[in-house]
Amino acid sequence: MNRSNRPLILVTNDDGYFAPGLKVLIDMIKPYGDIIVVAPEQGVSGMSHAITIKVPLRVVKINEEENLIIYKINGTPVDCVKIGLNQLCPRKPDMVLSGINHGSNSSISIIYSGTMGGALEGCLNGIPSIGFSLCSHSMNADFNLVKKYGLTIFLDILKNGIPDKTCLNINFPITKEKDFKGVKVCRQAKGVWKEEYEKRTDPHGGTYYWLTGSFNNQENGSTDTDEWALANNYASIVPVKTDFTDFDSIALLSNLNYEL
C-alpha cells in the first residue's frame, strides 16, 4: 500500500476474516481511508482480551487492492491489533474498528467479547477505536441500519476523535428501518450470564460439558441502559474506559487498618 494522505484505518473482528459483517464494515468505510484488515483465520468469539503466547503467530496476506490489504492470522482479535500496529501498518492508524460482530455485545457481554477486545487494544494504544455489533447471529443478517447510521458515527469520530483511553461499544437492534428510533448514548446495563453446563457423553463413553446459558438483565426498569435502548429499537453507544479503577472505593479502603 502506497503512503497517502488518506486516514489509515486498522480493522479486525472476532468472527473471522470471511464473516459477512467484516465485509460490510470494509465496504462502509473504504471510500474514506486506506484500510488494513487483520482478522482471525477462524471464528474466535468470547476471547475477550486474550493474546497468543504458546504458539507462533502466522500472517497470511489474502487480498490486496487499491487502498485495501487483508491479512488473516492464527490468533485472537487482540493479537490482530497488536501485530497490525507492530508489523503491518506503515504508521500509527488514525482509527481502529472492530466488527461488525454477529451478535450483541451489550451489558456485561463486553467482558467476554473478542470484538471489544480488539477495540480496547486500539484504545490502549491511544487510537480512537469503535466496536460495532448487530444483535443477530445469522450469517445472512441485514446490516443496512449499521451501514447507514454506523457510517455517520464513524465519520464523526474520524473528524472529532474520542477522549483519550475511551472507546465506543456500539450495538444495533434487529429491526426494520421504519421501526428504528435512532441512536442513544447510554450506560452499560447491570446484568449477568447464567451459565449452564450440559453434561454429555461422547461415542467412547467419555464425559464432556457443553456451555449453554441465558442473559439476566438485573435492571429491567432502567431506561438509560444499552439493554433498554436495544429492546426499544434504538442503537446503543456506550463509552468504555480502559481504567478499571473503582475510584469511589479508594477512600474507603484507605481507611482500613492493614497491620503488617
Distance CA 163, CA 251 (A): 26
Q: How confident is the model at residue 75 (pLDDT cuts 50, 70, 90)?
A: very high
Identify the CA nearest to 45 among candidates 156, 129, 151, 131: 131
The per-residue pLDDT for 196 is 80
Beta bridge partners of 196: 212
Stated pTM of the model: 0.93
Pairing of strands 95-102, 8-12: parallel
Please report which confidence band the pLDDT of residue 193 belongs to, taking 50, 70 and 90 as the band edges. Answer: confident
Percent of the chain whose pLDDT exceeds 90: 84
In the 8-state DSSP scheme, what is residue 189? P
Strand partners for 234: 182
Q: Identify the three-state secondary structure at position 187.
A: strand
Nearest to 185 by CA among 166, 202, 203, 211: 166
Contact 36, 80 (CB under 8 A): no
User: Does residue 260 surpass a pLDDT of 60?
Assistant: no
pLDDT of residue 259: 62
What distance, in Å, lies between the first and last C-alpha atoms of the chain? 59
Q: What is the mean pLDDT of the chain?
A: 93
CATH topology for the 8-190+220-254 domain: Stationary-phase Survival Protein Sure Homolog; Chain: A, (3.40.1210)
Phi then psi for residue 257, to 5 deg, are -100, 95
Q: What is the pLDDT of residues 129-174, one digit of tens each?
A: 999 999 999 989 999 999 999 999 999 999 999 999 999 999 999 9
Q: Is 148 helix (H, G, I), strand (E, B) or coil?
A: helix
pLDDT tens per residue across span 39-65: 999 999 999 999 999 999 999 999 999
- Backbone torsions φ then ψ of 248, nearest 5 degrees: -65, -25
Q: Residues 122, 81: contact at Cβ < 8 Å?
A: yes
